[in-house]
Amino acid sequence: MNRVPPPRPSWLIWLRRIAIGIAGGTVLIIGIAMIVLPGPAFIMIPAGLAILGLEFAWARYWLRKTRARARLMTRARARARRKT
């Protein structure tokens, strides 16, 4: 038997979107602040983008760009280590 769940009320959808926006935005802002402050900015920024990516397409786009850039930097670092 395949049951279809009842539709969610629109206020609940907006409440979820707002909560994800606040939580993800907070983590992202803390990560950006950690660029100049002591802390693991390279962990916090992608974490904030991942949280925001649950609801927002622009955050998924920037998370993909961040991951691709991190891969390039990792490969370049490995090549530099091999040459020395």
Residue 38 CB-half CA count within 13 A:
0
pLDDT score of 19 more than 80: yes
Alpha-carbon distance 18 to 11, whole Å? 10
> Model pTM?
0.77
Boundaries of every domain in the chain = 10-83
Q: What is the mean pLDDT of the chain?
A: 91
Alpha-carbon distance 14 to 25, whole Å? 16
CA dist 83 to 73, 75, 78, Å? Answer: 16, 13, 9
Query: What is the radius of gyration, based on Cα positions, of the chain?
Result: 18
- For the chain, give the percent of residues with pLDDT over 70: 98
